[in-house]
Amino acid sequence: MIRLYDYVLSASCYKIRLMAALLGVTLEQEAVDFHPGRAHKSVEFARLNPAGTLPVLVDGDLILTESTAMLVYLAQLSGPEWLGPSDPKSAAQVQQWLAFSGRLAASLGMARLHDMLLYDGDIDAWRAQGHAALRELEAALTERRFAGGVWLVGDAPSIADIACFTNVALSQDGGVSLDAYPSVRLWTRAIRALDRFVEMPGIHRLHELRPAPEGV
């Protein structure tokens, strides 16, 4: 079974947990004491991943330390349709969004770690960079809506959507509201409404998708 070294509050780890759930794949999850223990920075952990980061995905002798690579791997194995359309333009756009997801982690993700777990850094810069990235995402998703589409690339959700979703959906944890980005909000709802979607702390269940209990 594929093993995921995981931290429950990590937006990057959540990308992998979410992708696996959507694919119907079970991962062996090993919890790492990221906070308060900082176990990912230990000498022991460095033997697995010298970069000292989470998530880490291990499948036999394959060790992956970049979340976008893990998304590609899981999709290749268990749901190639999640890689997006294979024409050159679409494939390039998927790659572009995977790279863009790094900016979301470096801005919105860091603002969240600052506000929530007391990470030290330039919070104003992180939030400003987060808003700048959200503006670009809003513009792109708005244009997709004009064309009748919901997802970042193609007519179905792809690893591009999953890679970008987690830090965006958790942005208010870092003091960045999505109120100014209606297309982004509709897109996050579409992802949250997917079959087999799983939440993480900071993202509530969509109770509206379940009918009210009898008698209510």
Partner 1 sequence: MIAPEVLNEWYPVAMAAQIRAGQRRVTQLLGQPITVALQDGAIVVTGQGGTMPVTEAFGHVWACPGTPAHPLFPIPEALETGRRLVDVGVVRVKCSPLRAVENFLDIAHFPFVHTDVLGAEPHTEVNRYEVSIREDSDEVWATKVTFYQPQAAKSAEGGIVTQYMYRVPAPTAAVLYKTCPARPDALDVIGIFVQPLTEELCDVWPWMALYDDTTPQADLIAFQQMIFLQDRSILENQIPCLLPLDPGMEIPTQADLTSIAYRRWLKKRGLTYGAQMVAA
Partner 2 sequence: MTPHWTATGLSQDLPKAVAMAGHWQGQDLAIWRSASGRVQAWNDRCPHRGMRLSHGFVRGETLACIYHGWVYGADGGCKHIPAHPALTPPATIRVAAFACAEQDGVIWVAPADMVGAPVALSGLQPLRSISLTCDVAAVLAVEPALSGGDMLRGLVEIGGQACEVCLLVQHNAAGLTLHALCAVGADRIAASRWLEDLRRRAERKEAA
Indicate the length of the chain as a whole number: 216
Per-residue x/- track, 65-104, partner 1 (CB under 8 A): ----------------------------------------
Name every residue whose Cβ is closer than 8 Å to that of residue 167 and which is 6 or more positions away in sequence.
11, 101, 104, 105, 108, 109, 112
Residue 142 binds partner 2, judged by CB under 8 A: yes
Long-range contacts of 206-215 (CB under 8 A, 24+ apart): none
Which of partner 1, partner 2, none binds 124 (CB below 5-8 Å, type-dependent)?
none
Q: Closest distance between partner 2 and the C-beta of residue 206, in Å?
A: 7
Among 20, 154, 168, 173, binds partner 1 (CB under 8 A): 173
1/29 Cα distance (integer angstroms): 10
Tokens of 151: 């997802």
174/11 Cα distance (integer angstroms): 12
Q: Closest distance between partner 2 and the C-beta of residue 118, in Å?
A: 25
Closer to partner 1 by Cβ: residue 116 or 150: 116
Which of partner 1, partner 2, none binds 115 (CB below 5-8 Å, type-dependent)?
partner 1
7/67 Cα distance (integer angstroms): 13
Q: Using CB under 8 A, which of the segments 18-26, 53-61, 99-107, 201-209 binds partner 2?
A: 201-209
Footprint on residues 17-56 left by partner 1 (CB under 8 A): 31-33, 35-37, 39
Q: Closest distance between partner 2 and the C-beta of residue 102, in Å?
A: 23
Q: Where are the alpha helices (DSSP H) in 39-193?
A: 43-48, 67-78, 88-104, 110-117, 123-146, 159-169, 182-192
Residue 9 binds partner 1, judged by CB under 8 A: yes
